[in-house]
């Protein structure tokens, strides 16, 4: 021990008796006078007496800054066996927070020394041991290093031997168990104690069932639970047959504890079971011991008593973990549709997908059950720290990459073909008067495309065999245009239903035009049907749609229903009612006992439906074409429903580890009966919605090589209100490619002589769909040179959307932008006069048409191809990037670039931008001040948006450049094209938690408003950048930014608050329950085994 120095603190009266004594003791210590043990003992006893009897003295010794504690500790080493001391210490420590002072002064180490010394006496003094352990039990939880100190000092064995010799001496056993409980929270200790037979020892204490010594039992179970976190110990317990012992004990307690006084013991047993089932042999033993039925039945009996919830939750966790992994009901997880690429790049994702040797099962891993990390960690490693590092791992730290560099890398010769898309920059308006006649739709690609191929529409619009006619429509039932309808159509005498003519309600909608558009749309499955919602159109409802409040216990009850499948297998129908993989799909049995499903229309996605119970269906989504995963988007039709019953739907192959369906988001439903009654709209619907990890195994082929992963279930329940209805369900408001073409065509109607609107076809997609490019600005005021010059010199704004097909909200925002830009408001007029807009409204038409969620037909995420797009495989990206390169080459790089996206895991609308400075701040790289000179202009636009757009949230925005995003549009346009204001704008799929729409789910009206407000913000930006004094502009911008200056936001995905009901997605072997084990108070968890889901964070 270091020589402690006695300091007389300010404010402590120096004449205090206790301080005098301390001074005396200190002198004895420093002068090595402690040989005079008796003397030291006397002084110490006096001090302790004072501390005990006078509150003031206690404070003086224990106060922070006083070294009184150290002085006493130093002398303790010598006079350790003084029994009196411990009585005294005990009472001192009894006063609560002083334990912390004791620990901080090194008290724990001294106690262990005393313990070791005392243990060498034979026989050791029982009373001393009792007191020492009581003291250690108090100190342990307050000392983070308690476990390590215990092991290094050799105290573990002392305690264990003491216990072995005193198994029946409950008075001594209790404090020993309390100390053991703290020892065991250290993973290395747990392994070492296990080797020493402590697991078996604990079972001697906890079994058989007895209500004697319940407090002892409780502590023993806690210690055992901690020990069983070690896999080696868990295996030892399984080998000794302890799993069935634990189950039998649990059942005994469940039956006998009728007044629920011993909840903690019951919980302790479950925690042991939970930890032992973290290993495969443990789960096997659990199943063999009939654990599922025991826990299921006991939990069901607990359900009526709310206070027993912790038991039900832990039981449910164990059952989910042990639930045998099922196979998805598919032959392959490769998409049900295949698109033959003109060239399959060797080593690319498609080659990998289709070059698997025949017979390889990609649905489950063959050796799925064999994996299990065998050994326990034998060093103290701080998993937590590792996790913290990974949060920042993705930040770009290469300063070379951080500095935007215009690297066009292509010659003007190559780029000049793109001049044709910028006629406005060369137009002289002298020759051509009729500007409507411009037709720049020459293809960049070859001619003779299949674009003109018309699709034969086979299925007329039929409502359960009843033909429909639009009210006020020209009487042209689209069905009759098709020529394929049978006599059935005409035979429905007097049964003609009239449907609203939504063309009257929606300026850009026209059902007949929609059908024309569909006919020219190329889809891989060659869709021949049109979904009613796309035909009728969607009129945003006027009522509010609040976020769904989560009902307590909903996830648990759904999981219990899932577990029942195993408990009562005879109740399960397992009847396939829809299957895209069967040529005769849909599989329909006309007995009225099953719902009918359909997804074979543009943007549809549903691969398979299995009726599991009378009113419950498992649904499987289709992978993106030429891939084996990426599904999330769904859009399908249901008919044949009964009224007055609740149907449960489970989408069983979801991939993401969390979803806004757990945070208030509902699915969208469109009822045709409602539509024909005058309410043609998608509405948020569904109850009992939740999202959780299920028991369907996910192949390592589809999970990035990770074995043992599961899928997630998204479940919702529905009560249908109409008989003979046809209803549609979707992940979000559908917006098909044909809808876009219809909207673009109708936009022409909004053109006035003052508006310059040009629609070009940028290129053709892989399957032959055109990729539209729009140019919108104001016509020059006159043909005068000045006006033409002003016209040509307007700054460019470049917008794009829908590179990710599942993010339909991006299209609705884009619709809002386009309608605003074509509008007649004074703001729109000013905006057109201020800028030239270049817009690619749908970067991934093929993905949209074919119901993909994320990819194009090349099986790749197009927003990861911007660094090096391939003209053949990523034509839309290649040509869009070329347009930007052309602009950069001609010194016309846009003022703003923004790519519209949707975000599935966060609320509100927000932006990602690129800032060197904010990226550097977030990382640890050192940068010179010149590196950090940056115009703050990138913050202006989002800041304006946060002021004018109610759904927009600056707090959710981020300007950090991530490594994983280096091939996205935002980063490439910023770095290579040199656009400082290069953004991704993310709109929530769910709703808002701030602003005017707080607590509401987002609808198309709000999304379209967002698109319009984006335009208004550009106008304000123009006013700011229009100020020619650049410094003044900077001031203004920093002014705007002022309130926010210190916050750079690098937000992680999981930013949702937790619920009352612990949402537990994880039922896998290594994952731990989210709830902390509170019984130990502030127990130190030295080895947190939590696994983090290493999914990417925000995605653009």
**Residue closest to Zn ion when measured from CB atoms:** 901
CA distance 1099 to 962: 10
CA distance 743 to 736: 11
Helix orientation angle between 37-53 and 55-62, rounded to the nearest 10 degrees: 120
Cα angle value 700/706/707 (rounded, 5°):
65
Minimum distance, C-beta of residue 813 to Zn ion, in the bound complex (Å): 12
- β-pair type (608-613, 575-579): antiparallel
Minimum distance, C-beta of residue 374 to Zn ion, in the bound complex (Å): 40
Cβ proximity of 1018 and 835 under 8 Å: yes
Instruction: Count the alpha carbons within 13 Å of 192 in the hemisphere toward its beta carbon.
Output: 20
**SS3 at position 120:** helix
**SS3 at position 682:** strand
The helix (H) or strand (E) run that includes residue 839 is strand 836-840
Question: How would DSSP label each residue in 1016-1057?
Answer: HHHHHHHHHHTSS-HHHHHHHHHHHHHTTTT------S--PP
Annotation says 986 is catalytic = yes
Instruction: Count the alpha carbons within 13 Å of 248 in the hemisphere toward its beta carbon.
Output: 12
Cβ proximity of 987 and 903 under 8 Å: yes
For 483, 503, 819, 850, 945, the CA distances from 535, given in Å and listed in that order, are 18, 10, 20, 17, 34
Of 228 and 914, the one with the shorter C-beta distance to Zn ion is 914
CA distance 127 to 57: 28
Instruction: Count the alpha carbons within 13 Å of 495 in the hemisphere toward its beta carbon.
Output: 12
Of 655 and 807, the one with the shorter C-beta distance to Zn ion is 807
Where does 873-939 have alpha helices with state H?
A: 875-889, 916-922
Cβ proximity of 744 and 754 under 8 Å: no
Beta carbons within 10 angstroms of residue 877's beta carbon: 30
Of 802 and 1022, the one with the shorter C-beta distance to Zn ion is 802
Of 517 and 843, the one with the shorter C-beta distance to Zn ion is 843
CB within 8 A of 890, min separation 6: which ones? Answer: 425
Give CA 421 to chain center in angstroms.
40
Give CA 204 to chain center in angstroms.
44
Q: What are phi and psi of 215, to 5 degrees?
A: -70, -35
Of 226, 143, 205, 218, the residue nearest 135 (C-alpha): 143
Minimum distance, C-beta of residue 603 to Zn ion, in the bound complex (Å): 16
Cβ proximity of 608 and 580 under 8 Å: yes
Where does 435-575 have alpha helices with state H?
A: 478-482, 487-491, 502-505, 511-519, 532-536, 554-567
Cα angle value 772/774/779 (rounded, 5°):
155
Of 529 and 899, the one with the shorter C-beta distance to Zn ion is 899
Of 1015, 1021, 442, 430, the residue nearest 776 (C-alpha): 1015
Q: Which two tokens stand for residue 758?
A: 């040009």
The reply to whether omega before 860 is within 30° of 0 (cis) is: no
Cβ proximity of 1017 and 948 under 8 Å: yes
Of 527 and 798, the one with the shorter C-beta distance to Zn ion is 798
The helix (H) or strand (E) run that includes residue 886 is helix 875-889
Residues that bind Zn ion (CB under 5 A): 804, 807, 901
* Dihedral (CA of 674, 678, 683, 688) sign: negative
Minimum distance, C-beta of residue 902 to Zn ion, in the bound complex (Å): 6
| Active-site residue, selected from the candidate residues 986, 1009, 1037, 1086 | 986
Beta carbons within 10 angstroms of residue 824's beta carbon: 10
Task: Return the residue matching tokens 């206070």.
Answer: 307
Minimum distance, C-beta of residue 1100 to Zn ion, in the bound complex (Å): 5
For 389, 546, 733, 862, the CA distances from 395, given in Å and listed in that order, are 11, 36, 34, 22
Dihedral angle over CA of 279, 284, 288, 294, nearest 10: 50
Cα angle value 717/722/726 (rounded, 5°):
80
Instruction: Count the alpha carbons within 13 Å of 878 in the hemisphere toward its beta carbon.
Output: 16
CA distance 47 to 89: 11
Residues belonging to the active site: 986
């Amino acid at each position: 021990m270091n020589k402690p120095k006695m300091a007389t603190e300010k404010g402590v009266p120096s004449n205090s008796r206790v301080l005098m004594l301390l001074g005396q003791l200190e002198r004895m210590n420093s002068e090595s006078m402690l040989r005079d043990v008796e003397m030291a003992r006397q002084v110490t006893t006096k001090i302790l007496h004072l501390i005990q009897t006078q509150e003031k003295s206690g404070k003086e010794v224990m106060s922070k800054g006083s070294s009184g504690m150290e002085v006493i500790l130093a002398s303790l080493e010598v006079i350790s066996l003084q029994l009196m001391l411990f009585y005294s210490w005990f009472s001192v420590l009894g006063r609560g927070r002083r334990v912390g002072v004791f620990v901080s002064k090194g008290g724990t180490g001294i106690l262990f020394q005393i313990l070791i010394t005392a243990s060498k006496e034979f026989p050791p003094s029982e009373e001393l041991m009792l007191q020492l352990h009581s003291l250690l039990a108090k100190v342990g939880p307050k000392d983070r290093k308690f476990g390590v100190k215990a092991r290094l000092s050799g105290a573990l064995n002392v305690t264990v031997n003491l216990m072995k010799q005193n198994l029946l001496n409950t008075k001594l056993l209790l404090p020993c168990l309390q100390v053991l409980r703290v020892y065991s929270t250290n993973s290395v200790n747990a392994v070492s104690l296990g080797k020493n037979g402590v697991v078996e020892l604990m079972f001697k204490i906890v079994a058989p069932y007895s209500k004697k010594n319940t407090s002892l039992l409780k502590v023993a179970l806690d210690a055992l639970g901690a020990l069983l976190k070690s896999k080696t110990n868990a295996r030892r317990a399984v080998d000794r047959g302890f799993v069935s012992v634990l189950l039998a004990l649990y059942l005994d307690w469940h039956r006998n504890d009728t007044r629920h006084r011993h909840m903690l013991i019951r919980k302790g047993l479950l925690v042991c079971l939970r930890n032992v089932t973290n290993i495969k042999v443990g789960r096997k033993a659990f199943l063999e011991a009939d654990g599922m039925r025991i826990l299921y039945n006991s939990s069901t009996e607990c359900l009526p008593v709310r206070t027993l919830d912790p038991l039900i939750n832990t039981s449910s966790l164990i059952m989910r973990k042990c639930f045998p992994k099922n196979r998805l009901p598919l032959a392959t997880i490769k998409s049900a549709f295949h698109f033959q690429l003109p060239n399959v790049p060797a080593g690319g994702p498609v080659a990998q997908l289709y070059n698997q040797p025949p017979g390889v099962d990609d649905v489950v891993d063959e050796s799925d059950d064999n994996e299990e990390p065998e050994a326990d960690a034998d060093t103290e490693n701080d998993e937590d720290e590792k996790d913290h590092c990974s949060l920042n791992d993705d930040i770009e730290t290469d300063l070379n990459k951080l500095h935007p560099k215009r690297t066009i890398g292509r010659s003007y010769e190559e780029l000049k073909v793109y001049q044709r898309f910028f006629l406005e920059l060369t137009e002289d308006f002298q020759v051509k008067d009729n500007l409507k006649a411009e037709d720049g739709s020459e293809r960049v690609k070859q001619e003779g495309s299949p674009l003109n191929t018309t699709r034969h529409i086979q299925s007329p619009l039929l409502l359960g065999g009843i033909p429909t006619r639009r009210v006020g429509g020209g009487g042209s039932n689209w069905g009759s245009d098709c020529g394929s309808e049978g006599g059935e159509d005409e035979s429905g005498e007097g049964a003609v239903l009239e449907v609203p003519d939504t063309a009257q309600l929606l300026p850009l909608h026209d059902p007949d035009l929609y059908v024309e558009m569909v006919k020219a749309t190329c889809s891989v499955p060659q869709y021949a049907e049109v979904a009613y919602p796309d035909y009728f159109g969607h009129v945003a409802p006027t009522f509010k749609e609040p976020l769904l409040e989560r009902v307590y216990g909903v996830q648990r009850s759904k999981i219990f229903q899932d577990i029942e499948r195993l408990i009562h297998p005879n109740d399960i129908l397992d009847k396939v009612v829809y299957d895209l993989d069967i040529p005769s799909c849909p599989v329909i049995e006309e007995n009225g006992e099953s719902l009918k499903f359909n997804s074979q229309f543009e943007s549809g996605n549903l691969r398979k439906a299995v009726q599991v119970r009378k009113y419950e269906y498992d649904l499987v989504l289709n992978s993106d074409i030429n891939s084996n995963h990426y599904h999330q988007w769904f859009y399908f039709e249901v008919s044949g429903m009964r009224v007055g019953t609740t149907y449960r739907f489970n989408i069983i192959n979801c991939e993401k580890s969390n979803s806004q369906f757990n945070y208030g988001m509902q699915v969208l439903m469109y009822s045709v009966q409602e539509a024909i009654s005058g309410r043609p709209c998608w509405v948020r619907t569904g109850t009992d919605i939740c999202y959780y990890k299920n028991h369907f195994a996910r192949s390592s082929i589809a999970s990035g090589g990770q074995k043992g992963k599961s899928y997630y279930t998204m479940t919702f329940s529905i009560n249908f209100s109409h008989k003979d209805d046809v209803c549609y369900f979707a992940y979000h408001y559908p917006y098909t490619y044909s809808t876009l073409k219809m909207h673009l065509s109708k936009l022409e109607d909004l053109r006035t002589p003052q508006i310059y609107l040009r629609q070009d076809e940028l290129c053709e997609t892989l399957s032959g769909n055109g990729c539209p490019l729009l140019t919108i600005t104001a016509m020059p005021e006159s043909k005068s040179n000045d006006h033409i010059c002003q016209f040509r010199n307007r700054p460019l704004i470049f917008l794009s959307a829908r590179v990710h097909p599942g993010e339909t909200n991006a299209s609705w925002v884009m619709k809002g932008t386009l309608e605003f830009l074509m509008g007649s408001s004074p703001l729109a007029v000013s905006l057109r006069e201020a800028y030239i807009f270049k817009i690619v409204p749908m970067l991934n038409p093929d993905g949209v048409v074919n119901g993909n969620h994320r990819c194009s037909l090349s099986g790749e995420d197009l927003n990861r191809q911007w660094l090096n797009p391939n003209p053949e495989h990523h034509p839309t990206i290649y040509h869009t990037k070329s347009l930007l390169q052309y602009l950069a080459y001609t010194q016309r790089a846009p003022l703003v670039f923004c790519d519209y996206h949707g975000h599935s895991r966060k609320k509100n609308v927000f932006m990602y931008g690129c800032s060197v400075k904010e990226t550097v701040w977030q990382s640890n790289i050192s940068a010179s001040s010149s590196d950090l000179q940056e115009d703050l202009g990138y913050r202006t636009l989002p800041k304006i948006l946060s002021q004018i757009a109610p759904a927009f949230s600056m707090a959710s925005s981020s300007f950090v450049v991530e490594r994983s995003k280096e091939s996205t549009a935002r980063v490439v346009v910023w770095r290579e094209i040199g656009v400082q204001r290069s953004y991704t704008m993310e709109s929530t799929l769910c709703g808002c938690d701030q602003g005017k729409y707080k607590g509401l789910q987002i609808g198309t009206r709000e999304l379209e408003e967002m698109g319009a407000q984006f335009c208004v913000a550009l106008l304000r930006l123009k006013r700011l950048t229009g100020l020619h004094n650049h410094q003044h502009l900077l001031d203004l911008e920093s002014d705007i930014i002022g309130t926010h200056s210190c916050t750079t936001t690098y937000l992680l995905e999981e930013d949702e608050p937790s619920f009352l009901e612990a949402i537990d997605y994880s039922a896998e072997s290594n994952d731990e329950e989210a709830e902390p084990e509170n019984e130990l108070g502030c127990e130190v968890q030295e080895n947190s085994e939590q696994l983090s889901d290493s999914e990417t964070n925000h995605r653009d």
